A and B are shown apart, each in its own frame.
Chain A
Amino acid sequence: MLIAATIAILVVMIMAIVRGIVGPTLYDRILAVNMFGTKTVLLISLLGFVMGRPEFLDIAIVYALINFISVIGVLHYSDASIFKRSNQQNK
């Protein structure tokens, strides 16, 4: 059962990567990265249980935090003038 869940999460991560490459707007890609990060957290926890070493959970916590901070950082710094300038050009 654990292995089936692991395979399911790997499939979803591949889907997220596809959306990350294809997605037309910037926000699609940020969304894909965010989703990839959350699934990575789940993947670490599952793999930790599969391999019988629950010390991985510390890394899961760390990666959840890093994912969150990275998403907020990317959003904050993509509000910068590069994007606004191109936005105005598109208008």
Chain B
Amino acid sequence: MDISSAVFLLIGSFLCVSGGVGILRFPDFYTRMHAVGVTETLATTMILIGLMLQNPDGLVVLKLMIILLMTLFISPTASHALASAAVHNNLMPELDKKEDNEKETSSKP
């Protein structure tokens, strides 16, 4: 019990930290949002499962399950809302310049 809980907590905190590093180092808003949105949900899930395994008591597990379900619903929705609001307000992602060149060469003939 203790070991599996520790494993989940370790994976969860590693995902969390990688999401944090991502939000600092990625070049563009959309990439940052992708980093945060994905890692945040998964890290929350892992850490909450780790906490659940640590104390298999009735009410506490139920409350943790509620937090887990709510986060699974809320976090992707918030990411979607952010992305659609950004697109709606014309915040454009940075496109790679190589792709533009490839499009030009492929559209010539």
A-side interface residues toward B, CB under 8 Å? 1-2, 4-5, 8-9, 11-12, 15-16, 18-19, 25, 27-28, 30-32, 34-35, 38-39, 41-42, 45-46, 49, 54, 57-58, 60-61, 64-65, 67-68, 71-72, 75, 78-79, 83-84, 87, 91
Contact = CB atoms under 8 A, between A and B. Distances in A.
Contact of A75 (B13, B48, B71, B82): B82
Interface of B: 5-6, 9-10, 12-14, 16-17, 19-21, 23-24, 29, 32-33, 36, 40, 43-44, 47-48, 50-51, 54-55, 59-60, 63-64, 66-67, 70-71, 74-75, 77-78, 81-82, 85-86, 88-91
Contacts of B10: 1, 4-5
Contact of B89 (A35, A67, A83): A83
